[in-house]
Structure 1
């Protein structure tokens, strides 16, 4: 998904300037990294606020257009007002297409309703994680990772090593030997295997 953001260079900085900017429906931010110097920018608050509601906005390479010049960036930080529906500041990082990036991407769970541990044993699936930290080149960045739950039985757990990753996508934690759980199927009280044994004898 191609997501574009329009911004302007920001020349005035400081608390007073930021306050006036927000009062005018604008939002202060900064883009940094790569070969260029950090550049303060300002954006349309309403536009960015609604883009932040998009899951893909947080896990995609974004096209940032600053005064007519486009560059590829990642959203790196968002500061929200403690109680208002207001974004206070955003940080973007420039992307080098030849360098791997580390990014948190969401997990999309599928086929939980047909898992044997659910259908036969009446178990419940618990999502241990809802996102995962991956490493890849920018061109290989997936919007999400699919987690297939169709083979889960009562009491079983899916780990990082069980995930089907897109090509050229790695899980840094797994490379270091940290095979964390992603989802587990919790058996009902009173013996999870009851439903399974009945189905086997039928």
Structure 2
């Protein structure tokens, strides 16, 4: 698990106007910490380290330590609100983590072994990744940054479902707790579709119908 530590301060000036002023100062990101038995807390996160942290994919599937004026809070990212067209985060939501209670969040799927896959390299197979992440439930200490899916030995024509994934001890795939009908496909390796060459040649050879010859006028 990655180790993320961010500094923040308590926000006393609240409201949309206050948040806009904070963003215009270009030093902090308005945010909130909520959850557990403690009241929600409005904070401002130091901007530079925050933007550096969100470049790392594992930031969104890790327990983060927020140092709020000397008091440390263990949290996970619950939501980031982004500007509609600028590459800016306008607000961040963090959920408090309790070491004794399971948390639920999405973590990415990492597909490995494509370079060693006989089905892809020798049998003209094509990888179709149908899910980029999965929802899991676990205690904070068991939280993985991602789940790895090795396709190096996958046979052509195979489809992997959630139930085929290998998960660490203490981790549950949420969808599978709802029954077999929720055992969704996550990836498949199928024969690459090749367009019929004869069809292509036929399309190229096909020409517009000849323009009818113009009628000759009656000689006067």
Relative to the length of structure 1, the TM-score reads: 0.90
What does residue range 28-177 of structure 1 map to in structure 2 within 5 Å?
A: 28-176=30-178, 177=180
Task: Tell me the residue number matched to 1:179.
Answer: 183
**Offset at 1:65?**
0.7
**Offset at 1:15?**
2.2
2:87 and 2:175 map into 1 onto residues whose CA distance is 35
Task: Tell me the residue number matched to 1:19.
Answer: 20
Give SS of 1:21's match.
helix
Larger radius of gyration: 2
After superposition, what is the alpha-carbon deviation per residue over 1:140-164, rounded to whole angstroms, capped at 9, x for unaligned?
0000101011221221111111111
Instruction: Answer yes or no: is the 8 Å Cα contact 2:33–2:94 preserved in 1.
Output: yes
2:192 and 2:45 map into 1 onto residues whose CA distance is 51
After superposition, what is the alpha-carbon deviation per residue over 1:151-201, rounded to whole angstroms, capped at 9, x for unaligned?
2122111111111111111101112221111110020236xxxxxxxxxxx
Instruction: Answer yes or no: is the 8 Å Cα contact 1:45–1:87 preserved in 2.
Output: no
Q: What is the aligned residue count?
A: 190
The two structures, once aligned, show a CA RMSD in angstroms of 1.2
Task: Tell me the residue number matched to 2:217.
Answer: none
Task: Tell me the residue number matched to 1:3.
Answer: 4
